[in-house]
Amino acid sequence: MNILKEAGYLYLYSKKLLQINRKIKSLSKKKHKHGEKHSKASSPTKKHKHLQKHDSAAKKIKKLLKDHESIILRIKHHKVNFSHALEKSK
């Protein structure tokens, strides 16, 4: 493939990876916050509410980690293609 196309793919996938990393970071903060609130809550309804929010954040993080892994694989693939295209252009 053309070296410019491969460079474009690498750029786009790196941007997607940065977005996912930001989402994971914010969700992990929310997960930690609701975990602390769960342990400090006195009433069972508040405990249950914070536990649910903690669990939902954990599920979202797991989904984002799967997306993260797939994007990493795509970046590796296009990195190899980019290096081959670079060698061809010499």
Q: Where are the domains of the chain?
A: 3-89
Kindly calculate the radius of gyration of the chain based on its CA atoms and give it in whole angstroms: 20
pLDDT digits (tens, 9 = 90+) for 3-15: 999 999 999 999 9
pLDDT digits (tens, 9 = 90+) for 40-54: 999 999 999 999 999
What mean pLDDT is reported for the chain? 95
DSSP string of 5-24, one letter each residue? HHHHHHHHHHHHHHHHHHHH
The pLDDT score that the predictor gives to residue 1 is 67
Nearest CA to 85 among 5, 23, 12? 5
Q: What is the pTM of this model?
A: 0.85
In contact, 65 and 38? CB cutoff 8 Å: no
